[in-house]
Amino acid sequence: MLYKETGQYKSTYKSDHAIFPLIQDKIAFSTLMFIAFLIIPFVINSYWEKAILVPFLIFSLAAIGLNILTGYCGQVSLGTGGFMAVGAFSTYKIMTYFPDLNIMIIVLISGLITAAVGILFGLPSLRIKGFYLAVATLASQFFLVWLFNKVPWFYNYSDTGQITVSERLMFGIPVTGATAPPYATYLFCLILVVLLGFAAKNLIRSKMGRSWMAIRDMDIAAEIIGVPPLKTKLSAFAISSFYIGVAGALYFAVFLGAIEVTESFDIMTISFPVLFMIIIGGLGSMLGSFLGAAFIVTLPIGLKFIMVDLVGLSAVTAKHFEITIWGLLMIIFLIVEPHGLARLWSIAKEKLRRWPFPY
């Protein structure tokens, strides 16, 4: 009853093909946007910014990127960390060479550079599939991290090998560097996530998305319909890498401020968690990308809260338990609901549709 479709007739294809065809979804989304843009910026503090909201937004973007490639186009990738490093180092180098360029433009150019690198590492996908492709992308992960570690030009010959962001303003307010206020970094990420999120959704519901899904589901039939496999797969790699590159640029410039490549873009800290995000959130679902990112980002915080604050374990013991429980949850989740949180949500909607009637 709460989630009633009855009576909402569509008389044009436009309204039938809308992103939120139902009035309830529209209201929910508008409310969410209202809270995100007009309430949170006024109440945000640096704990919420650094621990939850900004990492959630950045990882949502990375998850959307990987979901485009893996969930929609069916090409498994373990190179997310490497591609995020490309975004981060592109931002760093552009900042060095163009001190006056607007940070928004720098971030987007970093995305484009990552897209080019993504195309390059996507070339093997024409010949290999599945696990074998995963191994090939794994190679890109290790190669890129190695490259940024070994070639001093990338970190401007600094002694530590670290790269550090300099302060950049947006409308006179710093959004990068140590002095950036929480609301500025949050809003900067939020705007990018909303814009790029809509762009991704639009791509998925039009020609490009259908070509990707056709390649994913049955590549032979796709080819006979006239979907060129090479071009389609590479376009997925390019656009996916663009999103991941932008996420990497934000991760470095807005979130961490200073990074060391082997630590920050390791396969265990980035590539696998982002892959878990889309698997737990739901492969081939935009909503799933966000739900997965929220889950993975908040899980350690929630576990720590329960174990340290409620149960009273020491922080070190809790850290060990956290990893164990994390892994356990992952396994339980895959067994109980292999289609992810997005599927749970659609089941919940199905129930709400009939509630409170039992039939």
Partner 1 sequence: MSLEDLKNIPYGKTAIELKNIFLAFGGVKALTDVSFEVKKGEVFAIIGPNGAGKSSMLNVINGFYKPTSGTINFAGTDRGEMEPEFAAKSGIARTFQNIALFKGMSTLDNLMTGRLLKQKQNFLMQALYFGPAEKEEEEHREKVERVIDFLDLQSIRRTPVGSLPYGLQKRVELGRALAMEPEVLLLDEPMAGMNVEEKQDMSRFVLTVNNELKTTIVLIEHDMGVVMDISDRIVVLDYGKKIGSGLPNEIRSNKAVIDAYLGVADDE
Q: How far is the CB of 330 from partner 1 (least distance, A)?
A: 23
* CA 62/CA 66 separation, integer angstroms: 6
Kindly identify the residues of this chain, within the stretch 120-139, that bind partner 1 according to CB under 8 A: none
Which residue among 6, 45, 153, 224 contacts partner 1 (CB under 8 A)?
224
Query: Given the rule CB under 8 A, which of 90-98, 168-176, 226-234, 308-316 is the region that contacts partner 1?
Result: 226-234
Residue 345, SS3 per DSSP: helix
- The amino acid occupying position 1 is M
284: nearest Cα among 68, 121, 133, 41? 68
Q: Which of residues 270-289 bind partner 1 (CB under 8 A)?
A: 284
N- to C-terminal Cα separation, the chain: 12
174: helix, strand or coil: strand
- Tell whether residue 233 is a contact of partner 1 (CB under 8 A): no
Shortest separation between residue 209's beta carbon and partner 1, angstroms: 8
Distance CA 20, CA 116 (A): 33
Minimum distance from residue 283 beta carbon to partner 1 (Å): 9
- Smaller CB separation from partner 1, 244 or 296: 244
Q: Residue 166 or residue 202: which is nearer to partner 1 going by CB? A: 202
Query: In 10 A of CB 354, how many CB atoms?
Result: 13
Q: Which range touches partner 1 (CB under 8 A), out of 11-19, 49-57, 113-121, 145-153?
A: 11-19
Q: Does 156 bind partner 1 (CB under 8 A)?
A: no
Cβ distance to partner 1 smaller for residue 19 or 258: 19
Q: Which of 60, 58, 92 is nearest to 255 (CA)?
A: 58
Rg (CA), the chain: 21
d(CA 20, CA 14): 11
Neighbours of 221 (CB within 10 A): 11
State the Cα–Cα distance between residues 73 and 68, nearest whole angstrom: 6
Q: From the list 226, 312, 356, 358, which residue makes contact with partner 1 (rule: CB under 8 A)?
A: 226
Asked if 88 interacts with partner 1 (CB under 8 A), we say no
217 near partner 1 (CB under 8 A): yes
Is 108 a binding residue for partner 1 by CB under 8 A? The answer is no
User: Three-state DSSP class for 173?
Assistant: strand
Q: Which is nearer to partner 1, 5 or 167 (CB)?
A: 5
| Residues in 194-213 at the binding interface with partner 1, rule: CB under 8 A | 199-200, 202-203, 205-208, 210-211, 213
Omega before 55 within 30 of 0, i.e. cis: no
Q: How far is the CB of 268 from partner 1 (least distance, A)?
A: 30
What sign for the dihedral angle of Cα 29, 175, 39, 293? positive
Within 8 A by CB and 6+ apart from 154, the residues are 89, 92, 93, 147, 148, 163
Q: Which two tokens stand for residue 242?
A: 């663009």
7 binds partner 1 (CB under 8 A): no
Q: Which of 169, 227, 308, 313 binds partner 1 (CB under 8 A)?
A: 227
- Closest to 235 measured CA to CA, from 272, 209, 266: 209
Burial class of residue 194 (count of CB atoms within 10 Å of its CB; 0-12, 13-18, 19+): middle
Q: Check binding of 13 to partner 1 (CB under 8 A).
A: yes
Least CB distance to partner 1 at residue 204 (A): 9
- Asked if 119 interacts with partner 1 (CB under 8 A), we say no
Instruction: Give the strand pairing for 163-164 and 169-170.
Output: unpaired
List 2, 32, 221, 334, residue binding partner 1 (CB under 8 A): 221
State in angstroms the smallest separation of the CB of 234 from partner 1.
12
The residue (of 150 and 207) whose beta carbon lies closer to partner 1 is: 207
User: Does the protein bind partner 1 through residue 216 (CB under 8 A)?
Assistant: yes
Told to check if 8 binds partner 1 by CB under 8 A, we report no
Which residues in this chain contact partner 1 in the complex, by CB under 8 A? Answer: 12-14, 17, 199-200, 202-203, 205-208, 210-211, 213-214, 216-218, 220-228, 235, 239, 284
